[in-house]
Amino acid sequence: MSNPMMEEKVFKDPVHKYIYVQDRVIWDLINTKEFQRLRRIRQLGTSFYTFHGAEHSRFSHSLGVYETTRKIISQFERRHDSDWPVDQRLICLCAALLHDVGHGPFSHSIEPVFDVNHEDWTCRIIMGDTEINRVLRQVSDSFPEQVAAIIEKRYQPEIAVSLISSQMDADRMDYLLRDAYFTGVHYGTFDLERILRVMRPYQNKIIIKESGMHAVEDYLMARYQMYWQVYFHPVTRSSEIILRKIFRRAKQLHQSGYTFGFMLPSLQQLLGQSLTIEDYLELDESLIQLAFKQWMKEDDPILRDLCMRFLHRRLFKYKILEQIDQAEIEEVEQNLRDSGLDPDYYMEIDFPADLPYDVYRPGQIGDKPPILILNERGQLIEISRKSDIIRSISGVQLGTHHLYYPEEFLYNQ
């Protein structure tokens, strides 16, 4: 199935040092316009307002997930592990490379407002009339559908899915290291080489050799640290809240028949929730930022003001709520109204556990299997039963509610 290239191609990468491309189809996928679009979408959305280095793109992360998957598989192949189905190599590499191709601009903020889902878009792009689909079809007619099945986690053998989607998969391992590198937060690092050496294919699963338990502890501690230091950072949450409110306002204006001073066809389709694949692929962060810049001149005072706050980083401030006190919240709402501000657009109660990040849970989370250790007697044991450290961080939800509102209002009180 695999069609090797005349000569191996190499990308320089700050996390993996080098990324090696050995298959024609991988090289051709990277060069499609849909994959190149990922250069214009940041991996960490609005985190650059908190950590100015966090400008890395989904393009670099996608290459990193591909490379991590390639390394895992080549370890299996080198050892001739009998539980690894050798014919799954190319499909796993394609799925790893393409797993995030459906991400839109600032996806985590846009998705809840417009009811879109990047995983669905990934499959639509793979199956649709796209350059990616044409490249995949060169392998075989059913190949795009098989790659989509891995992304949707309904592919057999299951081991192919768990390489890119489990509680210790190539996706998470790359984004932790990459996000740590670009934010400059050092807690997020762990020994990837060591983990790759102790991963084994076993009875249609990926498991960890008992001697590798401490390397996995280190990986989960890195997750724990990144979760609290980066992904849940309240300043990042504040910028996401403003972003969501901008989209909600624009959507509401669109529905009420408001005439925008600035509009683009793809943006209009987004607001009206009637996107075609072509429109969707037009959307990137440069386009959104251009729109916000133009919307700072809109007639609507709320849209104008929220866009100004976002682009000039006049973020909402926050107050930690030990408990939800309805009277206190109503008072803040009343104060906002008295200052002429609509609480729907200028206040938000946020709880970080809504985010799509999770440190570790011992059981199956949705379709993500837990991490299993294979002991010398050939028994599989869920890792938190062996490790005190992991048990102490498993399933903990230390989050508190935060109340966000504009800074000037804080001083007016």
Side-by-side strand order, sheet with 348-350? 317-321, 401-405, 348-350
- CB atoms < 10 A from the CB of 15, how many? 24
Give the range of 20-28, 35-43, 168-176, 256-264 binding Ni ion by CB under 5 A. Answer: 168-176
| CB of 67 or CB of 171, closer to Ni ion | 171
Distance, in Å, from the CA atom of 52 to the CA atom of 342, rounded to the nearest integer, reads 31
For the bound state, the minimum distance from the C-beta of residue 105 to Ni ion, rounded and expressed in Å, comes to 16
For the bound state, the minimum distance from the C-beta of residue 100 to Ni ion, rounded and expressed in Å, comes to 4
- SS3 percent helix, strand, coil of the chain, rounded to 5, is 55, 10, 30
| CB of 100 or CB of 217, closer to Ni ion | 100
Sign of CA dihedral 383, 388, 393, 398: positive
Distance, in Å, from the CA atom of 76 to the CA atom of 245, rounded to the nearest integer, reads 47
- How far from chain centre, in Å, is Cα 357? 9
| CB of 167 or CB of 384, closer to Ni ion | 167
Give the range of 92-100, 197-205, 295-303, 337-345 binding Ni ion by CB under 5 A. Answer: 92-100
Give the range of 48-56, 76-84, 100-108, 261-269 binding Ni ion by CB under 5 A. Answer: 100-108
Distance, in Å, from the CA atom of 310 to the CA atom of 406, rounded to the nearest integer, reads 12
Sign of CA dihedral 145, 74, 12, 61: positive
| CB of 96 or CB of 374, closer to Ni ion | 96
Query: Which of residues 28, 34, 169, 171 is near Ni ion by CB under 5 A?
Result: 171
| CB of 171 or CB of 179, closer to Ni ion | 171
3 state SS of 19: strand
Helix axes 234-255 and 285-295, enclosed angle (nearest 10): 70
| CB of 171 or CB of 298, closer to Ni ion | 171
For the bound state, the minimum distance from the C-beta of residue 94 to Ni ion, rounded and expressed in Å, comes to 15
Q: What are phi and psi of 159, to 5 degrees?
A: -60, -30
3 state SS of 4: strand
For the bound state, the minimum distance from the C-beta of residue 345 to Ni ion, rounded and expressed in Å, comes to 31
Distance, in Å, from the CA atom of 111 to the CA atom of 118, rounded to the nearest integer, reads 8
Structure tokens at 22: 């050995």
Give the range of 29-37, 95-103, 281-289, 317-325 binding Ni ion by CB under 5 A. Answer: 95-103
| CB of 173 or CB of 390, closer to Ni ion | 173
- CA distances in angstroms from 342 to 5, 156, 303, 334, listed in the order given: 59, 51, 12, 10
**Cβ atoms of 11 and 78 closer than 8 Å:** no
Spatial neighbors of 179 by CB under 8 A, at least 6 apart, are 43, 44, 47, 54, 56, 185, 188, 226, 230
Query: Which of residues 28, 34, 67, 100 is near Ni ion by CB under 5 A?
Result: 100
- CA distances in angstroms from 48 to 179, 265, 376, 402, listed in the order given: 11, 28, 46, 21
| CB of 59 or CB of 310, closer to Ni ion | 59
For the bound state, the minimum distance from the C-beta of residue 305 to Ni ion, rounded and expressed in Å, comes to 34
For the bound state, the minimum distance from the C-beta of residue 64 to Ni ion, rounded and expressed in Å, comes to 9
Per rule CB under 5 A, is residue 67 in the interface with Ni ion?
no
For the bound state, the minimum distance from the C-beta of residue 168 to Ni ion, rounded and expressed in Å, comes to 14
H/E stretch holding 64: helix 58-79
For the bound state, the minimum distance from the C-beta of residue 170 to Ni ion, rounded and expressed in Å, comes to 9
For the bound state, the minimum distance from the C-beta of residue 341 to Ni ion, rounded and expressed in Å, comes to 37
3 state SS of 105: coil
Give the range of 124-132, 169-177, 218-226, 394-402 binding Ni ion by CB under 5 A. Answer: 169-177
| CB of 150 or CB of 246, closer to Ni ion | 150
For the bound state, the minimum distance from the C-beta of residue 108 to Ni ion, rounded and expressed in Å, comes to 12
| CB of 173 or CB of 246, closer to Ni ion | 173
| CB of 100 or CB of 240, closer to Ni ion | 100
Number of residues that bind Ni ion (CB under 5 A): 2
For the bound state, the minimum distance from the C-beta of residue 335 to Ni ion, rounded and expressed in Å, comes to 41
Q: Count of residues for the chain?
A: 413
What mask of x and - would describe binding to Ni ion in positions 318 to 357, judged by CB under 5 A? ----------------------------------------
Return residues touching Ni ion (CB under 5 A): 100, 171
